[in-house]
Amino acid sequence: MSMFDIKGKTALITGGNRGLGKAISLAFADAGANIVVVSQSGRAEEVVEAAMKKGVRAVSIQYDLSDTSHMKELVDKVNKEAGHIDILVNNAGVQRRAPSVEFSEEDWDLVQAVNTKSVFFLCQAFGKAMLERKQGKIINLASLLSFQGGFTVPAYAASKGAVAQFTKSLANEWASQGVNVNAVAPGYIATDMNEALINDQTRSRQILERIPAGRWGQPEDIAGAVLYLATPAANYVHGEVIVVDGGWMGR
């Protein structure tokens, strides 16, 4: 078997209907994995159709990640419609921007609920079954702001710092039981979430000048790293936060 073979595995991708999640979902489908796309809207027809054309099974499930009180119902529905999950990709996230002196409690709570709380409890919920089978891959989406503070995004920086840290905590507990928990930290990627930065000519120019690769990243750049962590090639990789940023952090 190839070190990079995941044919027949089933991957769940949150926020898998757009942006980074869409690229990740289709990368898994290209590699022969079945996919479960979880999104707030539940509208993932384009991704599901594209995946099925590649000869894999694909389903879309609606779930509001800001509310973890119905997590058991989500797990039961996933298991019913797709069977057990071999690979969990926690990609979904939200962003709110405001000066820290003006940042609202409502926005703070929303960012933490989606970016931190739901990620941890999805790891817990699907990790339990992986531990029982003594195999599984969990990949969380961290950020450059797991390491840096950013500007006017205190809640997002806090949430992504937390994701990086509990990724390591889970790896410490689960590595010996056959479950890999790692994270990918995207740099500046051309997606809807970064539209405000892209449209700010001064800030966009400053960012681009610092990236050694000389360009903003594309969703496919992140999908490749996530896919690697899901394969047998990464069986001895535990608790890592792989930065994919065009060289930004090396400057």
Burial of 132 (0-12, 13-18, 19+ CB in 10 A): exposed
DSSP string, 139-198: EEE--GGGTS--SS-HHHHHHHHHHHHHHHHHHHHHGGGTEEEEEEEE-SB-SGGGHHHH
In a domain, 37, yes or no: yes
In a domain, 62, yes or no: yes
Collapsing DSSP to helix, strand or coil, 70 comes out as helix
Question: What letters, b where the CB count within 10 A reaches 16 and e where it falls short, cover 206-241?
Answer: ebeeebeeeebbebebbbebbbbbbbeebeebbbbb
Sign of CA dihedral 40, 43, 48, 50: negative
In a domain, 213, yes or no: no
Q: What is the pLDDT along the chain (251 residues), one digit of tens a residue?
A: 699 999 999 999 999 999 999 999 999 999 999 999 999 988 899 999 999 999 999 999 999 999 999 999 999 999 999 999 999 999 999 999 999 999 999 999 999 999 999 999 999 999 999 999 999 999 999 999 999 999 999 999 999 999 999 999 999 999 999 999 999 999 999 887 778 778 888 888 999 999 999 999 999 999 999 999 999 999 999 999 999 999 999 98
In a domain, 250, yes or no: no
Domain count, the chain: 1
In a domain, 248, yes or no: no
Burial of 99 (0-12, 13-18, 19+ CB in 10 A): exposed
| Domain enclosing residue 115, as ranges | 10-190+219-242
DSSP string, 118-132: HHHHHHHHHHHHHHH
Q: Which residues are catalytic?
A: 156
Residue tagged 């996919």 (tokens): 35
Q: Which two tokens stand for residue 70?
A: 């119905």
**CATH code, domain carrying 163:** 3.40.50.720
In a domain, 198, yes or no: no
In a domain, 54, yes or no: yes
